[in-house]
Amino acid sequence: MTQLSLKEYASPIHLTDCYEPSLLYLNRKEEMVDELLETFLKEKEELREAKVPRDYAGKRDLLKGILTIREPKPLDVENLNKLDSLLQTELMERGVIEVGPLEPISDIYPNCSFNQSHKFTLWQGDMTRLGADAIVNAANKYLLGCFHPYHACIDNAIHSAAGPQLREDCNTIMSLQGELEDTGGAKITRGYNLPSKFVLHTVGPIIDKGIELTEQQKAELASCYRSDMKRIFAPYAPGIKLRLKALKEVHDAGLSTQASISPVLPFTPDFPRLLEGIVDRIWIDTLTIGDGSMGKRSARLGMPQLFEEHDLSKWYQEDIHIKVGKYFRNSFPSEMIRISKNEAFPI
């Protein structure tokens, strides 16, 4: 199956444009719900005879159910403003949880052996309140959200809080892709009425309760996490040509430049030649020693096992940096090549 790349769908859904929800009718919930119900009940013939509850809670539940089953299609500006205002009023009432002040694991568990614990936070609650750069949605293979009214799944909760624009974006992506999303794949959209800027929609394996995971399901689940991280950083990761161009411009400006080489990352035979004349130093990581902790950090991160799983064990050798160094000496004099030893690999 050919899955759509980020580059292919980012522009059609205006991924990099900042969305500013309308606040035109803020704090007018009852009025907005009445007017929106009147609009949406007319969209489908079978809904026109629906009995509208008298109380506000009942009306709001009915509106939520209608939006859950509504097919992806554009909404006129006036009703979009009303729905935005309603969702923003509800968000203000629930409150936004900013992720910055949340305690990292290292503060909660000072003796934690996880060396990245200062970068991670454990938090439990309503993720539609999180003021983060991105949240992750457990989507299905159709990527259009849950169509079961009042179903208590995170897919439903996120689409309900974000608004119908989220489903429209997902529909645009899937129409362009022309096939279902692979298990372990992911797509990214804007968050719209959510406090998070983006939503990462990833399809996990479907596993019956109480059933032990198969190796394939474990691999698919791991792929979900890897796909999410790729979607977070992919928009900001420049291609090799752009990086070489930037290096040349910095070098031509009279500033010292260096190329940091990881010996386990593949490169083409002409790569050293491409660096000629634009870098003043080649710095090669020693992999296990160069991780700053005599290989302990690499081991804790599971690098040996990772390479073994992908049949790359031959690359995970303590002398790999020496072999790579010899390769680069065909293009650069020895004094320009440095190899990290008992120090952290320089950024």
Taking the complete model, does pTM exceed 0.75, yes or no? Answer: no
Q: Is residue 347 part of a domain?
A: no
3-state secondary structure of 198: strand
Q: Is residue 306 part of a domain?
A: yes
Last residue of a domain, one of 208, 234, 260: 234
* Boundaries of domain holding 86: 6-234
d(CA 268, CA 85): 53
Q: Are residues 148 and 60 in the same domain?
A: yes
Q: Are residues 196 and 247 in the same domain?
A: no
**Around 1, how many Cα atoms within 13 Å sit in the side-chain half-sphere?**
12
Q: Are residues 34 and 148 in the same domain?
A: yes
Q: Are residues 193 and 248 in the same domain?
A: no
Percent of the chain with pLDDT over 70: 77
Q: Is residue 294 part of a domain?
A: yes
Contact 144, 170 (CB under 8 A): yes
Q: Are residues 280 and 140 in the same domain?
A: no
Q: Is residue 55 part of a domain?
A: yes
The one-character DSSP state at 305 is H
Return the CATH number at 221.
3.40.220
Q: Is residue 346 part of a domain?
A: no
Last residue of a domain, one of 197, 216, 234: 234
From 168, 169, 162, select the one nearest 191 (Cα to Cα): 162
Percent of the chain with pLDDT over 90: 41
Question: Of 177 and 319, which is predicted with more confidence?
Answer: 177
Q: Are residues 87 and 186 in the same domain?
A: yes
Q: Is residue 345 part of a domain?
A: no
Q: Are residues 126 and 272 in the same domain?
A: no
Structure tokens at 185: 């794949």
Instruction: List the single range of 78-92, 143-157, 204-218, 320-334 with lowest mean pLDDT.
Output: 204-218
pLDDT higher than threshold 70 for residue 266: no
**Around 197, how many Cα atoms within 13 Å sit in the side-chain half-sphere?**
9
pLDDT at 136: 93
Structure tokens at 71: 């097919």
Last residue of a domain, one of 169, 199, 234: 234
Q: Are residues 14 and 72 in the same domain?
A: yes
Phi, psi at 276, each rounded to 5°: -60, 130
Q: Are residues 266 and 169 in the same domain?
A: no
Q: Is residue 260 part of a domain?
A: yes
The DSSP bridge partners found for residue 198 are 134, 190
Q: Are residues 178 and 101 in the same domain?
A: yes
Residues in the chain: 347
pLDDT at 314: 62
Task: Please tell me the total count of domains within the chain.
Answer: 2
pLDDT higher than threshold 80 for residue 313: no
Question: Of 80 and 45, which is predicted with more confidence?
Answer: 80
Q: Are residues 193 and 277 in the same domain?
A: no
Helix (H) or strand (E) holding 9: helix 6-9
Q: Are residues 77 and 203 in the same domain?
A: yes
